[in-house]
Amino acid sequence: MKVLGIETSCDETAAAVVCDAVAPEKRILSNIVNSQVSLHAKYGGVVPEVAARCHVDAIDEVINGALEEAGCTINDIDIIAATACPGLIGGLLVGTVCAKTISAVTGKPYMAINHLEGHLLTCRLCYDVEFPFLLLLTSGGNFLFAEVLGIGKYKILGETLDDAAGECFDKVAKMLGFSYPGGVAIQKHAEHGDPERYKFTIPLQRRLGCDVSFSGLKTAVKLQIETLGKLTEQDKCDVSASFQNTVVKFIIKQLGKALKMTTSNPKSIVVAGGVAANTALRKALMDFASQHNLKFFAPPISLCTDNGAMIAWTAIERRRANFPFSPLDTKTSPRQSITEM
């Protein structure tokens, strides 16, 4: 089975060809990503209208590139899959309309894919990860803890009450004068900073459950920066390190609560999403898993951010689990939970 996966939910125009080979290392036949980061950097974040127009300009070349790199034509493809939710509606429409058109013209079946489910299943694309597992999905626009029991069987344990972790990283980076996207800059400066110089309070200390909140932390960092006045390079490194340290400690604390809320005796901790590329968070999660006698899985850095391979693989997983193909009138939606697909 070969699947063409198309991803256009935010600022990457991506397409990939993935097959259902037994060996994980042989599954990705191609994976093309056209990033718009340089276009949005001057605005300090993604501009939806600009993103949608760029998807229109790039999508044909990206899809053709994915097919060429995989050494196949559209006739060799069995399923056309595209991200249909959630995300920026303009970008989603570019990808889904393109996928539906290819499906209608070629007669190949179409599958609408949830972007979050794509991230969720990326580790199973790369490794032999067994169900059930405890998931941390953290990206620029999403944050959740979920108990993953099987394909389409997801129990959300906790979510963000306001900002996502990735969004908070970007906003703090902007306060410090770093370029967009901010996560990489924060991590780089944190490597040279003192994580204990500034004592930012861990959020939601008295709240039950494992929900998270990052808006208060973001405000605390803003006030600290204003107190410092003109920042030296060391100040920026110390703020970055202290902020990152607080985020990681908070996530690990809430992960512990999430683990206690599970009922299926999960075998592994799995992290997914763009923030999963953060090395400090990965190390903390690895240590947490070891302390609780659990396996730990994280995608390769190249597959943490949005890509077409995760969308194609999700289609394969859903077909294996006997989920039906999607009608061509399936709606595209900017908001949808992983429990609704």
What contacts 161, CB < 8 A, 6 or more positions away? Answer: 211, 212, 213
Residues 114 and 175 in one domain: no
Q: Kindly state whether residue 154 falls inside one of the protein's structural domains.
A: yes
Number of domains in the chain: 2
Q: What range does the domain containing 172 cover?
A: 131-266
At residue 93 the predicted structure's pLDDT band, cuts being 50, 70 and 90, is very high
* Each residue's pLDDT tens digit, 11-50: 999 999 999 999 999 999 999 999 998 888 888 888 999 9
Do 139 and 117 have their domain in common? no
- 79 and 199 both lie in a single domain: no
Q: Tell me, what CATH number does 66's domain have?
A: 3.30.420.40
Quote the pLDDT of residue 41: 82
Residue 311 lies in a domain: yes
pLDDT for 168-203, tens place per residue? 999 999 999 998 888 999 999 999 999 999 999 988
DSSP 88-109: -HHHHHHHHHHHHHHHHHH---
Residue % of the chain over a pLDDT of 70: 100
Cβ–Cβ contacts within 10 Å for residue 201, how many? Answer: 11
Answer yes or no: is 275 within a domain: no
Q: State pLDDT tens for residues 100-134.
A: 999 999 999 999 999 999 999 999 999 999 999 99
Span 138-151, mean pLDDT? 94
- Residues 178 and 67 reside in one and the same domain: no
Do 155 and 41 belong to one domain?
A: no
Question: Model-level pTM?
Answer: 0.94
Task: Write out pLDDT tens, residues 253-293.
Answer: 999 999 999 999 999 999 999 999 999 999 999 999 999 99
**How do beta strands 12-19 and 2-7 pair?**
antiparallel
Whether 61 contacts 32, CB under 8 Å = no
Confidence of residue 206 (pLDDT cuts 50, 70, 90): confident
Cis peptide before 132 (omega within 30 of 0): yes
pLDDT at 340 over 80: no
Q: What's residue 39's pLDDT?
A: 83
Q: Are 4 and 74 a contacting pair, CB within 8 Å?
A: yes
For residues 51 and 91, the answer to whether their CB atoms sit within 8 Å is yes
Q: Is residue 104, in this structure, part of any structural domain at all?
A: yes
Q: How confident is the model at residue 92 (pLDDT cuts 50, 70, 90)?
A: very high
pLDDT at 140: 84
CB atoms within 10 A of CB 136: 26
C-alpha–C-alpha distance, residues 209 and 228, integer Å: 35
Q: For residue 43, what pLDDT is reported?
A: 83
